[in-house]
Amino acid sequence: PQPSGECRNVLETSAKIGASMQDEFVSTEHLLLALTQVNSSAKNLLQIAGVREKDILQALQKVRGSARV
């Protein structure tokens, strides 16, 4: 079995997000951020729930500070 196109896009986007955040590994926060960017049913559900990328990034900055993954 192979992952769907949406799943592949989320994984690729999360790797790019991790690299842009200067992290060595892809973590759950990168995956969550990718879900807010890649057009998918997950993105639609997050939007309905009021979850925005901007809010996630602000929360991550508070929690992570300058730490890296």
pLDDT band at 65 (very low <50, low <70, confident <90, very high): confident
pLDDT per residue as tens digits for the range 2-56: 989 999 999 999 999 999 999 999 999 999 999 999 999 999 999 999 999 999 9
DSSP 10: H
Q: Are 14 and 33 in contact (CB under 8 A)?
A: yes
Q: What global pTM score does this model have?
A: 0.86
pLDDT of 61 higher than 80: yes
Max intra-chain CA distance, the chain: 39
Q: Are 7 and 35 in contact (CB under 8 A)?
A: no
CA angle 56, 60, 65 (to 5 degrees): 155
Confidence of residue 66 (pLDDT cuts 50, 70, 90): confident
8-state DSSP, 28: H
